[in-house]
Amino acid sequence: MRIYSMTRDNWIPGIPDSVTLPCSICGSKIDFDYLVDDETWKTLAGPHRTSAICLPCLDEMATARGIDISHHLHVIFFCGRGKTIRLCPTAEYLWERRT
């Protein structure tokens, strides 16, 4: 058995970790992987820094701290069946819910 440690420096795009790692916050299957800057990850992930966190949970954590996560996302990967599709954020749309 070969064990290989993946880090941000040697991560191979296209390998979805959603195959084996559920979100450490909500437990759901991770369909969207992403990259954020190191400082944002340290600030938001806290004790979960070495775990997988789904994008919706990361967004909730950021919103609770008053951080607009859209400014910190570098790339988003959709983890499909047998493939990973790289999505590059180009615009953000902010809105407020009106009742």
Domain residue spans in the chain? Answer: 17-87
pLDDT of residue 57: 94
Residues 6+ apart with CB under 8 A from 65: 43, 44
pLDDT of residue 18: 46
Structure tokens at 36: 């954020």
Higher pLDDT, 41 or 5: 41
96: confidence class by pLDDT, cuts 50, 70, 90: confident
Q: Per-residue pLDDT tens for 33-77?
A: 888 888 999 899 888 888 889 999 999 999 999 998 888 888 888
pLDDT of residue 60: 94
- Residue spans of alpha helices (H) in the chain: 38-45, 55-64
